[in-house]
Amino acid sequence: MPGYFPIADGPYRLAMGLQKLRLEDWIEIDAAFADDLREKRRLLAARHDEVFQALPASGPGQAEVLHLLAEHLPRHHPQTHRRDGNRLLVKPLDQWFELSGANAPPLETASRLVQEDLCLMEPVGEVYHLTAASVCFPTRWNLLAKIGRPLADIHAPVPGYAEKLERPMDRFFSLLNEAKPVQRLNWSLMDDPALFQPKGHGRTARDDTITAENAGERLWLRVERQTLRRLPKTGGILFTIRIHTNPLSEVAAEPDRAERMLAALRSMPSGMRGYKSMPVFGAAVERYLENRSGLV
């Protein structure tokens, strides 16, 4: 059974959903570790500017991110990482990485060490902007369109963000304590399991090949495990995104989960349904979940 199922009982609601995070649990590593890092390496070589961007002034913050990971990974994940002076070995790849930052921007090097995507948010006055990011596994958003923009602009396409989350999110960013990192979970239903998905929000054309009979095999629950951690020296915030994708047939194997997902979809505001491209397969997936939940 998939580990993350961030769909609560009751109707759908847009919320920050922040949870406490122990520092030792900051980075996740699982059986897909080597494959995910190889895919990052491929994307950074083939589509570099689409998956890595950095503003010139972000150098110190990038270096601090790399330093924190170089300290964290050998301590908490010695099975996959080993440090030798100014080098770090990723054991499953049998690959050493220089930590000096001489061969690549520090955040790019950092991103090659972990499955998470890494986004550096730094204050410009009182407003946090995206100053550097390695996002190889985007969930339908374009890094080139986001780099350098403030938090509110980055989330502007999300229905309800300005009304419900903009002010509390800005306040949270200003108050985040370096000793108290947090995590949150975000979810989407997708008709493509690929990790690299820079496009696809707001699709409206129905796909008649996805039916109530095959939706379990044609759709995937994509969960973003997001963490936020204050950088103690430079003062920015590192936002990490780890993708977990599971077939809908596995996710909805238990009737209770199918019923909870169905309730969330049926109560989702029309603007959010459109944003999440539910018109493509919404009717089919609702009938599928009805059958799995035992409600019909």
Q: Which three-class secondary structure string do you get for 3-49?
A: CCCCCCCCCCCCCCCCEECCHHHCCCCCCCHHHHHHHHHHHHHHCHH
Closest C-alpha among 240, 241, 251 to residue 288: 251
Q: What is the pLDDT of residue 200?
A: 81
Q: Which residue has the higher pLDDT, 100 or 150?
A: 150
Tell how far CA 236 is from the center of its chain.
18
Question: Residue 49 in contact with residue 144, Cβ under 8 Å?
Answer: yes
- The torsion defined by the Cα of 234, 236, 241 and 242, in degrees rounded to 10, comes to 30
Q: What is the pLDDT of residue 1?
A: 45
Beta-strand runs (E) in the chain? 19-20, 52-54, 81-84, 87-90, 95-98, 117-124, 127-134, 182-190, 220-230, 237-247
Tell me how far apart the alpha carbons of residues 3 and 225 are, in angstroms, rounded to a whole number: 11
| Strand order across the beta sheet in which 220-230 lies | 19-20, 182-190, 220-230, 237-247, 117-124, 127-134, 52-54
Tell how far CA 176 is from the center of its chain.
19
For residue range 95-146, list pLDDT tens digits in order.
999 998 778 999 999 999 999 999 999 999 889 999 999 999 999 999 999 9
Tell me how far apart the alpha carbons of residues 66 and 172 are, in angstroms, rounded to a whole number: 24
Tell me how far apart the alpha carbons of residues 145 and 157 are, in angstroms, rounded to a whole number: 12
CB atoms within 10 A of CB 26: 20
Find the mean pLDDT for residues 149-159.
Answer: 92
Q: What is the pLDDT of residue 268?
A: 93
Dihedral sign (CA 294, 291, 201, 274): negative
Find the mean pLDDT for residues 252-256.
Answer: 94
Asked whether the whole model's pTM tops 0.75, one would answer yes
Q: Which residues contact 167 (CB under 8 A, 6 or more apart)?
A: none
Q: What is the pLDDT of residue 46?
A: 98
Label residue 80 by pLDDT band (50, 70, 90).
very high
Length of the chain, in residues: 296
Q: What is the pLDDT of residue 2?
A: 54
Q: What is the pLDDT of residue 295?
A: 66
SS3 state of residue 109: helix
Tell me how far apart the alpha carbons of residues 189 and 12 are, in angstroms, rounded to a whole number: 14
Label residue 14 by pLDDT band (50, 70, 90).
confident
